[in-house]
A = this chain, B = another copy of it.
């Protein structure tokens, strides 16, 4: 799926919800067992139950790599379960020099068939460009929301913070048709500022809860014509319940978010 098709999916479903498959053996319902393959069964049920309300699924590679080749297999099998009307994201935060970047692109776009991948900008243009392909999307870390984001991303250089340099410079390398940004900001004024820098690019916003407030702010200040926004929720959806009906509970949480999103679109 490319970005144009993602825009259509957003309109068709009335949703810009991305479900984060941060699936962890220690947190999935105990009636699934404790084998790595239980993760695949968990993912299968979560995807089936939530896909009417979601337009994207984000697989954080760390959760799978911790199980070695078993985990890599589960990631590959999970990817195959994502419906074709949903956008798939490898949340891999890779980034390496040109020829090595090409290999990561092969790993996630050819060997696996992800639609997109998250990439760290620190190494600059030749670490980002290998992921800019027809019908594939690179999602560059702009501003993250973790405590450590304050260490470097807000450093002021030439009158603007580093993350703004990243948004401005990176947006020259691609277009809104093959480039998105991770933006952890949920405060209205910060989002307004970011929207003024990259008015047309999709923003992937992690970690918005089901409880109004921040979703409202993110939507009000992040949405553009045609969407331009993916809001991710992981734990709030996939761990909504640990009983036998966990998938239904996940669907309920996803539906709640979708219904609010539909009112903002």
Interface residues of A (CB under 8 A from B): 22, 60, 62-63, 65-69, 71-73, 76, 93-98, 100-101, 103-104, 106-107, 110-112, 120-128, 141, 144, 146-153, 155-158, 162, 165-166, 169
Contact = CB atoms under 8 A, between A and B. Distances in A.
B103 A123 contact: no
Given A65-B107, A111-B66, A127 B148 contact: yes
B147 A125 contact: yes
Contacts of A100: 22, 60, 62-63
A98 B122 CA distance: 19
Contacts of A155: 155, 157-158, 162, 165
Contact of A148 (B65, B72, B123): B123
Within the oligomer, what is the number of copies of this chain?
2
A74 to B, nearest CB: 10
Kindly name the residue among A22, A124, A156, A162 whose own CB sees the greatest number of chain B CB atoms within 10 A. Answer: A124
Contacts of A69: 69, 72-73, 76
Contacts of A72: 68-69, 72
Contacts of A103: 62-63, 65-66
A46 to B, nearest CB: 18
9 contacts: A60-B96, A62-B96, A65-B104, A69-B69, A123-B141, A123-B146, A126-B146, A152-B169, A157-B157
A68 B112 contact: yes
Given A107-B65, A156-B158, A147 B122 contact: no
Given A100-B62, A162-B162, A165-B155, A95 B67 contact: no
A124 B96 contact: no
Contacts of A93: 94-96, 120, 123
A135 to B, nearest CB: 19
Contact of A146 (B94, B97, B141): B97
Contact of A152 (B22, B124, B126, B146): B124
A162 B152 contact: yes
B122 A153 contact: yes
A144 B97 contact: yes
Contact of A169 (B123, B124, B146, B151): B151
A106 B111 CA distance: 24
Given A104-B62, A120-B120, A165 B148 contact: no
